[in-house]
Structures are given as C-alpha cells and as structure tokens.
Amino acid sequence: MRFGSLVLVCVAMLASAVVPASATMRISEDRGGQIGQYLQNYATLRSSGERVVVDGNCLSACTLLLGVIPRDRICATSRARFGFHAAWMPDDNGRPVTSPLGTEALWNIYPTSVRRWINRHGGLTRHMIFMQGTDLHGVVASCDGVRTYQVRAEHRYRDVEHRRPMHVARSYRARSVMRHTHYHRTARYSGAYSASDRR
C-alpha cells in the first residue's frame, strides 16, 4: 500500500474511533520499524483511550505517536528521548536509500511544534537527531506534572470525604475513582528492525 493511501486510511480510522475507559501504555525502548505498521498500531491505541508514558528511547517510526495520539494523553519522564530521521527503503540490492515519499508522510503527521524543532536542528536527514530534556518543553508534557495533578485530586477527594457523612462519602468516593483513576499496565511495541525506517 502506498504511503499516501495508508495515511488516509489511518486518518479515517482515527476520525471514527470511539474512546472507552483508559489505561496506560509505557514505551521504554522502541527503536522503530515500518511506518505503515506504526500508523495502524497508533490508530488502535488512540481509539482505546489509553494514555502513553514515554520512559526511554522512542526512535524513528515510534515518534509518529506525537502526531497521532492526542497531546493530553502523552507524557514523558526524565529518561524520555525521541529520535528523528528521514524514512528509507531498500534498493534493488538491498541497500538503504532515502525515501522522499516516506519522509513526506512522516513530516505531514508530525505536529507543528515537532516540525519547528526538527527544522531548527537541520531537518529530516539520514542522521538521527534527538529531542530530550528541556527540548521537550512545549512538545510533550512532563509525567511529573501529571502525577502532581493526580495526587492533588486524591487529596481533594479525601478532604471532601472527611466533611461528608459516611454513606455519602462512600458514594462520592466510588464516583471519584471511576472518574479519575486509570488502570495501569505496562506494554511496549516491538523494536524489531524493519526496512521502512533507518536507525
């Protein structure tokens, strides 16, 4: 399937997605792979309603999550590192050559903040460039900020419970847990090498 058609299919999947209760997915060592496969995986992840915690390397096609998953459902720890480069395909002899069409597909999916950062660092080329640390400010939320919000919310509900009759507090607590607590699970995409992205 051509990249352009694949992108259109994934956009249609995203538009029709129904978001159920959310869990959490953790990415700690993802070195990328085929662009098409990642777009399909991320479309499924988006429709699941899961949050994403980036806690290590998210390289190559893995970085597409920045353009597919809503920004308010992604956070990065201090160990997070995103790696960007031009897409490539093997030639008739199996040697990697840059794919202008694949690179354009990557570029069109990245949000404006990511494109600006890439442009400031030389654009998408054969050589990987890394976004980490303070470069993430304004692009990806810090997981520390997310945890602070959750802790404050828990404290607020405890304070309310102390001021309510016991039977009312229990009912309020149940509604609060349903509304603000996520079921956490750990998962990662396959980091197997693929011929659609250069590492």
124 and 63 belong to one structural domain: yes
53 and 120 belong to one structural domain: yes
pLDDT tens readout for residues 101-114: 999 999 999 999 99
57 and 133 belong to one structural domain: yes
Question: Using an 8 Å Cβ cutoff, are 195 and 89 in contact?
Answer: yes
For residue 173, is pLDDT > 60?
no
Residue where the block lists tokens 């998962």: 187
2 is a domain residue: no
4 is a domain residue: no
Domain that holds residue 164: 145-180
Cα→Cα distances 39→6, 11, 131, 166, Å: 8, 9, 21, 49
pLDDT at 30: 96
72 and 155 belong to one structural domain: no
77 and 125 belong to one structural domain: yes
pLDDT at 51: 96
Residue where the block lists tokens 């404050």: 152
Structure tokens at 74: 């992604």
97 is a domain residue: yes
11 is a domain residue: no
At residue 91 the predicted structure's pLDDT band, cuts being 50, 70 and 90, is confident
Residue type present at position 82: F
For residue 19, is pLDDT > 90?
no
Question: Using an 8 Å Cβ cutoff, are 108 and 7 in contact?
Answer: yes
At residue 144 the predicted structure's pLDDT band, cuts being 50, 70 and 90, is confident
42 and 99 belong to one structural domain: yes
3-state SS assignment for residue 7:
helix
Give the single-character DSSP code of 159.
H
125 and 33 belong to one structural domain: yes
Counting the structural domains of the chain, the total is 2
pLDDT at 151: 43
14 is a domain residue: no
120 and 156 belong to one structural domain: no
pLDDT at 22: 52
Q: For residues 169-176, give the mean pLDDT.
A: 42
89 and 65 belong to one structural domain: yes
pLDDT at 196: 40
- Mean pLDDT of the residues in the chain: 75
Angle of the 3-15 helix axis to the 100-109 helix axis, nearest 10: 20
176 is a domain residue: yes
For residue 146, is pLDDT > 60?
no
Q: For residues 146-173, give the mean pLDDT.
A: 47
197 is a domain residue: no
Q: What is the DSSP string of 49-108?
A: T-EEEEEEEEEGGGGGHHHHS-GGGEEE-TT-EEEE--BEEE-TTS-EEE-HHHHHHHHH
Among 86-90, 91-95, 153-157, which is the least confidently predicted range?
Answer: 153-157
137 and 69 belong to one structural domain: yes
